Structure 1
Amino acid sequence: MRLERVELLHVALPLVTPFRTSFGTMTSKDTFLLRVVTDEAEGWSEFAADPEPLYCSEFVAGAETVIRDFLLPRVAALPEPTTAAVAPAMAAVKGHELAKAAVETALLDAELRAYGMPIATFLGSVRDRVPAGVSVGIKNSLPELIDDVEKYLDEGYVRIKLKIEPGWDVEPVRAVRERFGDALPLQVDANTAYTLADAPHLRKLDAFDLLLIEEPLAENNLHAHARLQRRLTTPVCLDESIHTASDAASAIAMDACRVINVKPARVGGYTEARRIHDIATAHGVPVWCGGMLETGIGRAPNLALAALPGFTLPGDTSASKRYFAEDITEPFVLVDGHLPVPTTPGIGISPLPDTLARFTTSTRVLYGGARKL
């Protein structure tokens, strides 16, 4: 397989409703896609972060520079840029896991399409559909929250995740429990909004039989999360703190978490995500697949990952219409609380050309031709 061309397509898709978390409010998915062309096939991927470095340190403009100036030259220098060779070639560049994930995934898509192999087969998926949870952002009032949760349950979602922050935590959880009962699978996500000094307050959440509390403290502080876990009966789940399989192993050894949210983009791609799954499964730690408001290009391979045997909790693998009135791919539709795992070669989906053109704001050639501005 020989690399011939890499294009970056900047896209902006409006969200059906604003999505508020502890670090800000999003009204659109503003990111880029990578299109890789080899001598055998083409591949697609999606950069998962945002225009501003608020959720994580990586951001759209910075990732473009890293991919163009540091990652692609190393990949292009390979005799054959296979998936097995790409990660070691990019390893000299420190960090930038989301940028690396975009490069690796696009090349993986092209390689698998050339072989006629679905990504589910490559990863070792064991299910043809996966249960879908939904993430509910911070609302202006409890009645608004209850209305949203009721709507999602009526649509068939099997698990609810509530975004929380100081001042919006115990009462929203209590309201949802009182309205929908103890049988509802319910979890919360703090996105690093608390400190260890908030442990007495966070202990109040133990009364609501939550599946987990996700990333309550500052990311990468495994010691603080381990201390917090000793004070809670609710399982701590780590998300932003897990960048590699080594991080996952350390967190498990320290009892800094009892659940792991595996986001392939955040850990550098699907091969590293599979390693994290394997480590967690070997230690009896459940994992689930998080979401980053992906279009269909990012959602399709996430569904294949979520079909691995260790993914025993419903992920944030919501239907396309949860976020977009119109996606850039054929939409993923919820059926009986589940979404289908793609079965066609590669990541299992491609952009719809006319729709992609309408949502594309600019295109640049990063490798293999003159760069477009």
Structure 2
Amino acid sequence: MTRTTIRSMTVEPLNVPLHEPFAIATGSVTQARNVLITLTLQDGSIGYGECAPFPPSTGESQETALAAARNCIDLLVGQDAAHWRRLSKLVHSLYFAQKTVCAGIEMALLDALTRCYGMPLYAFFGGASTRVETDMSIPLVTPERGYQLAEKTVKLGISTIKVKVGGDLREDVNRVEAVRSGAPHVGVILDANQGYTPNEALLCLEALEDRDIRPILLEQPVHKDDLAGLRYVMQHTSVPIAADESAGSLAEVSNIIATGSANVINIKLMKTGIVEAMDIVALCRAAHMQLMIGAMIETRLAISMAAHFAAGLGNFRFIDLDTPMLLTDDPFNGGYEQQRGIYDLSQIEKGLDITPR
């Protein structure tokens, strides 16, 4: 037994309401219904992990995540957290359909381990930077509400807005136009969450161009399995196209790169887990593919891990880690310091430096 041996593990629900329903093309949620994992090492170091199942995107629920995570307790207690890659492989081999659980366990392992080692996670990942700057998302709302949310975002000092589209084309265009009116000097990203056909995606971009609106990115315009459609959209517009739901694994990202189907890969730790996400970053760098980091409906805990990941590895062009700002409560203390859309990690000494309230 060593100081990094896992002494105990607990699993519990983590529920936080949203300020308002968050609607995307594939569904809507009113609260984060997540899972909190707590690992304690032999030396007393405690690590926290969060599973954020988002049924419209992952197919998982809080109930399935709780069951799978609890089944991992006997599997992990007594194991050495220093062997985190081996433990990650073990969990992924047994719970390959529960990616958010794999991610939450990896998160707790690395948080506990780096607290034990006395180093912040951004340094563990490479120390390329100590800060990231996030955008702010506006869901499928009326143009009037979109205008209000855009004005509010500007007052927060955030410089990029991501607008959800993928529904009725006219409503989508009107929403984006209203957001541009409410925030005339910020960058605009569009996210269709698989809601369009290839032609609809191009029609949306053309209609916006007629209104002198050019998005800096269009994310996942078509169904995740329609790589031909994704490539068609990319070949017929100069707006960069990002793969999100299509980029759910290293193998899928490899296929996107091989077929030239997107300009940008959106990495979400909840889709792949941390170990596989590191492999995806390496592959994208080798292929000169631009990187984006995103999230499900996650609290400060999981968003902190994503921020450490992106800052430590560096070279992420697009940052979409705004979900703590959509929640009515913050159940955690510590972690990053926020100024406007910037998450500053420089004062963190060990791990994520986060504790539950």
TM-score range, shorter chain: 0.7 to 0.9
Instruction: Assess, with a 3 A threshold, how the Cα gap between structure 1 residues 248 and 125 changes in structure 2: closer, same or farther.
Output: farther
Q: Give the counterpart of 1:287 among 291, 312, 320.
A: 291
Q: How does 1:86-125 map to 2 (within 5 A)?
A: 86-93=87-94, 94-125=96-127
Instruction: Assess, with a 3 A threshold, how the Cα gap between structure 1 residues 175 and 326 changes in structure 2: closer, same or farther.
Output: closer
Deviation at 1:128, TM superposition (A): 2.0
**What residue is the counterpart of 1:19 in the other structure?**
22
Instruction: Assess, with a 3 A threshold, how the Cα gap between structure 1 residues 306 and 279 changes in structure 2: closer, same or farther.
Output: same
1:316-350 C-alpha deviation (Å, 9 max, x unpaired): 22384x22333011375532541112622112212
**What residue is the counterpart of 1:363 in the other structure?**
none
Please say if residues 170 and 204 of structure 1, whose CA atoms lie closer than 8 Å, have aligned partners that are also in contact: no
Unmatched tracts of structure 2, length 5 or more: none
Q: How does 1:51-70 map to 2 (within 5 A)?
A: 53-69=55-71
User: What's the secondary structure of 1:4's corresponding residue?
Assistant: strand
Alpha-carbon separation, structure 2, partners of 1:292 and 1:205? 29
**What residue is the counterpart of 1:296 in the other structure?**
300
Instruction: Assess, with a 3 A threshold, how the Cα gap between structure 1 residues 334 and 79 changes in structure 2: closer, same or farther.
Output: closer
Q: How does 1:114-263 map to 2 (within 5 A)?
A: 114-139=116-141, 141-167=142-168, 168-178=171-181, 180-181=183-184, 184-196=186-198, 198-204=200-206, 207=209, 208-263=213-268
Deviation at 1:136, TM superposition (A): 0.8
1:348-368 C-alpha deviation (Å, 9 max, x unpaired): 21212xxxxxxxxxxxxxxxx
User: What's the secondary structure of 2:317's corresponding residue?
Assistant: coil
Alpha-carbon separation, structure 1, partners of 2:17 and 2:167? 28
Q: Give the counterpart of 1:317 among 306, 317, 321.
A: 321
**What residue is the counterpart of 2:8 in the other structure?**
5
CA-based RMSD: 2.3
Deviation at 1:64, TM superposition (A): 2.3
User: What's the secondary structure of 1:334's corresponding residue?
Assistant: strand
Instruction: Assess, with a 3 A threshold, how the Cα gap between structure 1 residues 237 and 319 changes in structure 2: closer, same or farther.
Output: closer
Alpha-carbon separation, structure 1, partners of 2:81 and 2:353? 23
User: What's the secondary structure of 1:187's corresponding residue?
Assistant: strand
Deviation at 1:78, TM superposition (A): 4.8
Instruction: Assess, with a 3 A threshold, how the Cα gap between structure 1 residues 150 and 277 changes in structure 2: closer, same or farther.
Output: same
Unmatched tracts of structure 1, length 5 or more: 353-373
Please say if residues 6 and 78 of structure 2, whose CA atoms lie closer than 8 Å, have aligned partners that are also in contact: no
Alpha-carbon separation, structure 2, partners of 1:340 and 1:79? 31
**What residue is the counterpart of 1:83 in the other structure?**
84
Deviation at 1:296, TM superposition (A): 1.6
Deviation at 1:309, TM superposition (A): 2.0
Deviation at 1:200, TM superposition (A): 4.6
Alpha-carbon separation, structure 1, partners of 2:88 and 2:302? 19
Alpha-carbon separation, structure 1, partners of 2:67 and 2:151? 43
Q: Give the counterpart of 1:305 among 297, 309, 327.
A: 309
1:254-277 C-alpha deviation (Å, 9 max, x unpaired): 1211111111121112x3222222
TM-score normalised per structure 2: 0.88
Query: For residue 276 of structure 1, what is the amino acid of its counterpart?
Result: I
- Greater displacement, 210-219 / 165-174: 165-174
1:5-64 C-alpha deviation (Å, 9 max, x unpaired): 2111212212222222222332221221001122132210111114xx322222211122
User: What's the secondary structure of 2:150's corresponding residue?
Assistant: helix
Deviation at 1:66, TM superposition (A): 2.4
- Greater displacement, 255-264 / 223-232: 223-232
Deviation at 1:178, TM superposition (A): 4.8
Please say if residues 3 and 39 of structure 1, whose CA atoms lie closer than 8 Å, have aligned partners that are also in contact: yes
User: What's the secondary structure of 1:217's corresponding residue?
Assistant: coil
Query: For residue 155 of structure 2, what is the amino acid of its counterpart?
Result: D
Query: For residue 62 of structure 1, what is the amino acid of its counterpart?
Result: T
Alpha-carbon separation, structure 1, partners of 2:281 and 2:180? 31
Please say if residues 212 and 234 of structure 1, whose CA atoms lie closer than 8 Å, have aligned partners that are also in contact: yes
User: What's the secondary structure of 2:284's corresponding residue?
Assistant: helix
Q: Does 1:328 align with 2:334?
A: no
1:67-104 C-alpha deviation (Å, 9 max, x unpaired): 333x4454458566621221222242333221111111
**What residue is the counterpart of 1:355 in the other structure?**
none
Please say if residues 18 and 327 of structure 2, whose CA atoms lie closer than 8 Å, have aligned partners that are also in contact: yes
Deviation at 1:161, TM superposition (A): 0.1
Alpha-carbon separation, structure 2, partners of 1:268 and 1:335? 28
User: What's the secondary structure of 1:86's corresponding residue?
Assistant: helix
Query: For residue 12 of structure 2, what is the amino acid of its counterpart?
Result: L
